[in-house]
Amino acid sequence: MRKKTVLKDGWRFLKHDMPVGTAMEYAARGEAVTVPHTWNAADGQDGGNDYHRGRCWYVRELSPEECAGERLFLEINGAAMSAEVYLNGEKIAEHRGGYSAFRAELTEKLAEKNTLAISVDNSDNDTVYPQKADFTFYGGLYRSVNLIAVPAEHFELIKDGTPGIKVTPVADLEKKTAVVTVETWQNADSVEMTLTGVDSEGNPVELRKTVPSQEGYAAAEFTIENVRLWDGLRDPYLYTASARLGSGDEVSAGFGCRVYEFDAGKGFFLNGRSYPLRGVSRHQDLKGRGNALSVEDHRADMDIVRELGANTLRLAHYQHAQEFYDLCDENGIVVWAEIPYITMHMSGGRQNTLDQMRELITQCYNHPSIAVWGLSNEITAASTVNEELLENHRALNELCHRLDPTRKTTMANVFMLETDSPILDIPDVNSYNLYFGWYVGDMEQTDEFFDEFHEKYPDKVMGFSEYGADANPAFHSSNPEKGDYTEEFQLRYHEHMLRMIEARPWLWATHVWNLFDFAADGRDEGGKHGENQKGLVTFDRGLRKDAFYLYKAAWNKEEPFVHLCGKRYENRCEDETEIAICSNLNKITLYVDDVKVAEQEGNVIFRFRIPLIGEHLIRAEAEGCSDTMVIRRVSEPDGNYIFNKSAASVNNWFDAEEVDESCFSVQDTLAELRADPRAGAVVEAMMAKASAARGDVADAVKDNPALQKMLGRMKLMSLLQQGGADAESIKQLNRVLQGIKKS
């Protein structure tokens, strides 16, 4: 028998670095905490990059009852980012990487009284990923910590945090069978393996074999006839594989039989039918709790995913909790799993990328929901593509294929990476993160980017791994613009992207960045501290922004609904206003003050215009569903709806400046300026200066013709603003350009 004891209570937390002896001695003075715990739940989201990063201690006494059992193991499901484990002052394990589980055997080191002391460290370094990324690097024992007591004969618990059982189902769609290989590792002579479930007609399946274990390894093959497939949202059916030793030790895993296929021209296929993956990304954190989530928190997140109707999740940017992959299995959500090899390649981090990948695959292998292993994210954002970076990716890619020949690899490329970069040849399938229409350029450039790629590389599988726009639901506008953080702009942005995606079913997967707002302590913008607000739902999960309903209308086929957008935009200063409605029904009737004013047929989003006189009750109806809101006409624009009016000076100073249209100015596009030798020379001189300051990024831009073309369409003004130039230097440059007559 195996016994698991959850070590939730009884911990003392010391928020300082100190030797283990001191930590044990002063433990009683530490803060009493329960695990899961992070020390950055509050300061990890207050903005300004000042959250506590360092080495802290968790100390706990283990009672004799807790230590009972023949062999005793400690299981730590997440210690961010690096940890050292001490039992009675002696170091028994260490682990680098904040997102995977690890275990250590305690048995031989147990004494009469036992004290566990775990140091956890999230300080910066140059060997453990992530070090540079747009999210808070929470520190703590933020997932469960358990004791596992097993008999002397037991399944492997140490190696890479293995579950001890590995299940590989290979489904044959024509024969309607699945050949399932079960492998286990143990210190016993034989293993009894059992598969249970039902077939496609509901008849029970129970297959059993007892197999010998040689050199600690056993394997058996089973064939399920008439197999019931794991079929995504439609029928995420799970079988169970279990393995048992004579000692009574037992391990088991849910598994699913499915076939994933990728086609450059046709997109993604599940079990032989076209199944475009359309969904969102998720970070594992929650306002007030940081990353120390409970099982209920994970469930609540999954409920929102189901409400949205997404069929895929990108679980960014690291390994998520096992509970969450389980939920994906049970709910039929196809998953992109990845390691935090992100933003910047570190020469000293190669081994860590391989370790984190090995643990991710070992620990997550059995989840049928996982379709791809992600090698890296925007790794060329702050690194150039050189041999060292390529070699690291090749090593990761080979590791994935060796550990798991059944799954494909992918990576999320940054927009400025050339599409002919050799790095695109490494993973099996590709993907790009594109923020045209938000950070750079116009939304339409996304369409152009993908079409150009598809035309140039018709045999390469391509996906859209990130896109999004920040929105603070406090801000509103009837003329939404990029950078205004309004809900209305976010809605327009996603409306464009949704249509763009619908017209390109060959994109194997698309993932909105992000389902939820999340902590990014380096940010301080859009009226909030320390948050990335690209979520469709707020950080506390309390509010679904209007763009949420756009996707729900497109993806949720189960729950008919009508949603009036702009509910929070009550006070409107205009004669006529727009009413936007999201719905998965096709005919909407609009009532103003209980009078029917219009009817429209369409899909997903419906836009009406109505005169605005006083206060109005707006009601939208479709097939028995309805939604209402109140809006009113006001004489002055409501200042509460506008983001940071005073700080918007960078955008506004230009209005006051006289511009001589016959001369060049920063309002001209880069291409227009470059076409003139004199204006072009000014721009080149400015670029050379920027390149001296940010060499690697500038080089990546310089050598990328596709990017150059896209940048050419942008106004110099917006390029400068997005590059972070201050108002004074933009003005100076403008004065120089105004001295050059257009020919």
- Nearer to ligand GCB by Cβ, of 222 and 436: the residue is 436
Q: Measured on CA atoms in the order 567, 605, 501, 300, is the torsion positive or negative?
A: positive
Say whether 617 sits in a helix, a strand or coil.
strand
193 contacts 209 by C-beta, under 8 angstroms = yes
Written as six digits, the tokens of 254 are: 């849910």
Closest CA to 40 of 154, 137, 179: 137
Minimum separation from the CB atom of position 55 to ligand GCB (A): 26
Catalytic residue among 378, 466, 488, 495: 378
Alpha carbon separation from 272 to 200, 330, 510, 541, 603 (Å, rounded): 16, 21, 20, 36, 28
Smallest distance from the beta carbon of 515 to ligand GCB, in angstroms? Answer: 12
Beta bridge partners of 507: none
The phi and psi torsions of 613 (rounded to 5 degrees) equal: -115, -55
Q: Is 433 in the site for ligand GCB (CB under 6 A)?
A: yes
Site for ligand GCB in 172-231 (CB under 6 A): none
Q: Which residue's CB is nearer to ligand GCB, number 432 or number 606?
A: 432
Nearest distance from C-beta of residue 535 to ligand GCB, angstroms: 10
Complex with ligand GCB: residue 421 or 589, whichever CB lies closer: 421
Instruction: Supply φ then ψ for residue 172, to 5 degrees.
Output: -115, 110
Q: Helix (H, G, I), strand (E, B), or coil: what is residue 536?
A: coil
Q: How far is the CB of 534 from ligand GCB (least distance, A)?
A: 5
Least distance (Å) between residue 355 CB and ligand GCB: 22
Residue 86 vs 485, nearer CB to ligand GCB: 485
CB of 144 or CB of 472, closer to ligand GCB: 472
> Which position among 378, 484, 621, 668 is part of the footprint of ligand GCB (CB under 6 A)?
378
CB of 525 to ligand GCB, least distance (A): 11
Q: Which residue, 129 or 608, has its beta carbon nearer to ligand GCB?
A: 129
Q: Which of 534, 563, 572, 619 binds ligand GCB (CB under 6 A)?
A: 534
CB of 479 to ligand GCB, least distance (A): 24
Handedness of CA 293, 295, 296, 301 (dihedral sign): positive
Q: Out of 121, 447, 466, 525, point to the residue binding ligand GCB (CB under 6 A).
A: 466
Q: How far is the CB of 354 from ligand GCB (least distance, A)?
A: 21
For residue 464, the minimal CB distance to ligand GCB (Å) is 12
Taking the complex as a whole, the smallest distance from the CB of residue 704 to ligand GCB amounts, in Å, to: 17
The structure tokens listed for 462 are 């391509």
CB 315, CB 337: distance < 8 Å: yes
Residue 325: DSSP 8-state: H
Is residue 378 among the annotated active site residues? Answer: yes
CA dist 527 → 42, 521, 523 (Å) = 18, 14, 11
| Binding residue for ligand GCB, selected from 134, 355, 488, 517, defined by CB under 6 A | 134
Q: Which is nearer to ligand GCB, 317 or 494 (CB)?
A: 317
Which residues on neighbouring strands pair with residue 159, listed in sequence order?
A: none
DSSP string, 380-445: TSSS---HHHHHHHHHHHHHHHHH-TTSEEEEEEETTS-TT-GGGGSSSSEEEE--BTTTBS-THH
Question: What is the enclosing helix (H) or strand (E) of 103?
Answer: strand 102-105
- CB-based contact 551:310 (threshold 8 Å): yes
- Residue 532 is a binding residue for ligand GCB (CB under 6 A): yes
Instruction: Determine the Cα–Cα distance for residues 559 and 494; give it in Å rounded to an integer.
Output: 21
Contact present, 448 and 427 (Cβ < 8 Å): no
Q: Is the peptide bond before 514 cis (omega within 30 degrees of 0)?
A: yes
Which residues, numbered 675-734, are part of the site for ligand GCB (CB under 6 A)?
none
Q: Output 11 or 432, the one with its CB closest to ligand GCB.
A: 432
Q: How far apart are CA 145 and CA 103, in angstroms?
A: 10
Q: Which is nearer to ligand GCB, 310 or 469 (CB)?
A: 469
Instruction: Decide if residue 445 touches ligand GCB (CB under 6 A).
Output: no
Nearer to ligand GCB, 410 or 433 (CB): 433
Q: Which amino acid, residue 441? A: G
Which residue, 41 or 342, has its beta carbon nearer to ligand GCB? 342
d(CA 474, CA 702): 39
Choose between 369 and 532: whose C-beta lies nearer to ligand GCB: 532
Backbone angles phi, psi at 466, to 5 degrees: -155, 140
> Shortest gap between Cβ of 533 and ligand GCB (angstroms)?
9
Helical residues (DSSP H) of 27-162, grouped into ranges: none
End-to-end CA distance of the chain: give it in Å, rounded.
87
Six-digit token pair at 161? 């945090």
Burial letters 72-105, b for 16+ CB under 10 A, else e: bbbbbbbbbbbbbbbbbeeebbebbbbbbbbbbb
Question: Toward ligand GCB, which CB reaches closer, 281 or 311?
Answer: 281
> In this structure, are residues 386 and 347 in contact, taking their beta carbons and an 8 Å threshold?
no
DSSP assignment of 165-182 equals: EEEEEEEETTTTEEEEEE
CB of 504 to ligand GCB, least distance (A): 20
Number of residues that bind ligand GCB (CB under 6 A): 10
- CA–CA distance, 55 with 16 (Å, rounded to integer): 6
Give residue number: closest CB to ligand GCB. Answer: 134
Reduce the DSSP state of residue 514 to 3 states and report it.
coil
DSSP-H helix ranges across 14-76 = 20-26
Question: What is the chain's alpha carbon radius of gyration, rounded to the nearest angstrom?
Answer: 28
Sign, Cα dihedral of 393, 395, 396, 398: positive
Q: 379 in helix, strand or coil?
A: coil
Retrieve residue 480's tokens: 């939404």
For residue 513, the minimal CB distance to ligand GCB (Å) is: 6
Q: In sequence order, what are the beta bridge partners of 618?
A: 592, 629
Q: Using DSSP, state whether 670 is helix, strand or coil.
A: helix
Residues 510-529 within binding reach of ligand GCB (CB under 6 A): 513
For binding to ligand GCB (CB under 6 A), which residues are involved?
Answer: 133-134, 317, 377-378, 433, 466, 513, 532, 534
Give the active site residues: 378
